[in-house]
Amino acid sequence: MKLISWNVNGLRAVAIKGFADIFEGLDADCVCLQETKLQAGQIDMDFPGYESFWNFADRKGYSGTVTYTRKSPFSVRYGIGIDEHDHEGRTVTLEFKDFFLVNVYVPNSQDGLKRLDYRMRWEDDFRQYLHSLKSEGKGVVVCGDMNVAHNEIDLKNPSTNHFNAGFSDEERAKMSALLDSGFIDSWRFQHPDEVKYSWWSYRMAARERNVGWRIDYFLCSSSLEDRIVSTEIHNGIFGSDHCPVELVIKD
């Protein structure tokens, strides 16, 4: 089963940059998109053979997630069941036969870490949500823009970013806590020493110089470890400041 995750940074914007062709070329069973920046009815983007499940933010032009799937889910959940977090369209969870697929756009701590306190609450509540899914007796796959480069290998300039959003000690510690609680970073599991990025700033020709960060992930609950077939970061695909990431797991 081939899964794709991509922060498109505005679905209407990427739609005019060849998104439909990219989508079809990826030929995935599930495609999870973040930061769609849409409200209901603002775009008509269906693909033959796929169902789509959208979670819109209350605020216009902000956040939002959608999951396209060839396989009909048993159930669909929007949000994580906590009102403080469930107005920004940040999660869509699909239930399949033996695992949950959670599409997530994790809140950014913002310049000066001004939203860090909220981010810390989100991290704890989101981790609890994932463990509530595991308690139902199925594996869990989490994918999306998790807005953190976990280790120094995951960004170009770690020494100058220790107090910046996405590489603060607090955010990195929360990712460590999630992994330590029974999840696997599938890319790093298969590529322990490889340097590859999934996001580049639009400033100072960062992508051309490959000054990037790896902040887009597929995490798998440890029960799924033996089913990880392959992982990829498609850094040759353009259209957003992020690129798609991929996980193939055994059915």
Q: Which residues are catalytic?
A: 105, 145
> Alpha-carbon distance 154 to 71, whole Å?
32
Environment class of residue 224 by beta-carbon count within 10 Å: exposed (0-12), middle (13-18) or buried (19+)?
buried
The CA distance from 49 to 69, in Å, is 8
CA distance 195 to 60: 36
DSSP symbol at 242: B
CA distances from 144 to 18, 101, 164, 179, 183 (A): 21, 11, 20, 15, 14
* Cα–Cα distance list, 108 to 23, 84, 178, 228 (Å): 26, 15, 17, 28
- Check: CB of residue 43 under 8 Å from CB of residue 66: no
Per DSSP, 155 falls in state B
Task: Give the three-state DSSP class for 173.
Answer: helix
